[in-house]
Amino acid sequence: MKLIVGLGNPGDNYRLTKHNFGFWIIDKLVEQRFLKYKLGKGDYLFALGNNCMFLKPTSFMNNSGVAIKQVMNYYKNINDIIIIYDDIDIDLGQIRFRENGSDGGHNGIKSIINHLNTKQFDRLKVGIATDMDMRPSEVYVLKPFSKKYLDLVNEVINYASDGINYYLNHNISSAMNNYNKRNNDNGK
């Protein structure tokens, strides 16, 4: 089974914040498949369909690894993982598939690496950098996008969802080759 995880923070206070981009994409994937979320045996919501589990941790971003470890312990047949999350070092409008790597200063990824005891998992990084003041980053990621970016945000949700669907039918290398393209029209 493939595990597709979107990172974000639970609750209405965080629903529209940049840090919840992973949740938005998971929600789109679940909606496309007409699936429904269920409560998991731990700190997560999940939806099952076509040998895929779509997961949203219900703990805060900095503890994302707890939920993923709980899922891995409960479901022994998970053989592929991809984590979808926001990246402040990539421009809004761009996405990057990666096979592995460091946490890059992202506390959700840091938690996952610590709990799984490996950096070897696929990722989809979704750019959130804009021309707005992005420092301190912990304040920037916990604010919504301004209205001028909302159309681009929706385009990215659709593009990233297409990318994940492609990834699920191919592999990480093909997804990287087809979706990690530079786009100069990125809203800046």
pTM (two decimals):
0.94
Q: Is residue 103 part of a domain?
A: yes
The domain in which residue 114 lies consists of 2-179
Question: Are 81 and 113 a contacting pair, CB within 8 Å?
Answer: no
Helical segments of 54-149, H only: 64-74, 107-116, 137-140
Interhelix angle for 150-169 vs 172-179, to 10°? 150
| pLDDT confidence of residue 182 | 57
Q: Which residues are the active-site residues?
A: 19
Q: What is the pLDDT along the chain (188 residues), one digit of tens a residue?
A: 999 999 999 999 999 999 999 999 999 999 999 999 999 999 999 999 989 999 999 999 999 999 999 999 999 899 899 999 999 999 999 999 999 999 999 999 999 999 999 999 999 999 999 998 889 999 999 999 999 999 999 999 999 999 999 999 999 999 999 999 755 444 43
| pLDDT confidence of residue 145 | 97
**CATH number of the domain where residue 65 is located:** 3.40.50.1470
Reported as type and span, the H/E element at residue 89 is strand 80-91
In a 13 Å sphere around the CA of 18, the CA atoms on its Cβ side amount to: 29
Instruction: Find all residues with CB under 8 Å of 138, minimum gap 6, and list them.
Output: none
Beta strands 80-91 and 122-129 are parallel
Q: Is residue 83 part of a domain?
A: yes
Q: Is residue 185 part of a domain?
A: no
| pLDDT confidence of residue 185 | 46
Q: Is 34 exposed, middle or buried (0-12, 13-18, 19+ CB in 10 A)?
A: exposed
Question: Are 17 and 24 a contacting pair, CB within 8 Å?
Answer: no
Q: Is residue 158 part of a domain?
A: yes
Domain count within the chain: 1
Question: Are 99 and 172 a contacting pair, CB within 8 Å?
Answer: yes
| pLDDT confidence of residue 40 | 93
Q: Is residue 86 part of a domain?
A: yes
Q: Is residue 188 part of a domain?
A: no
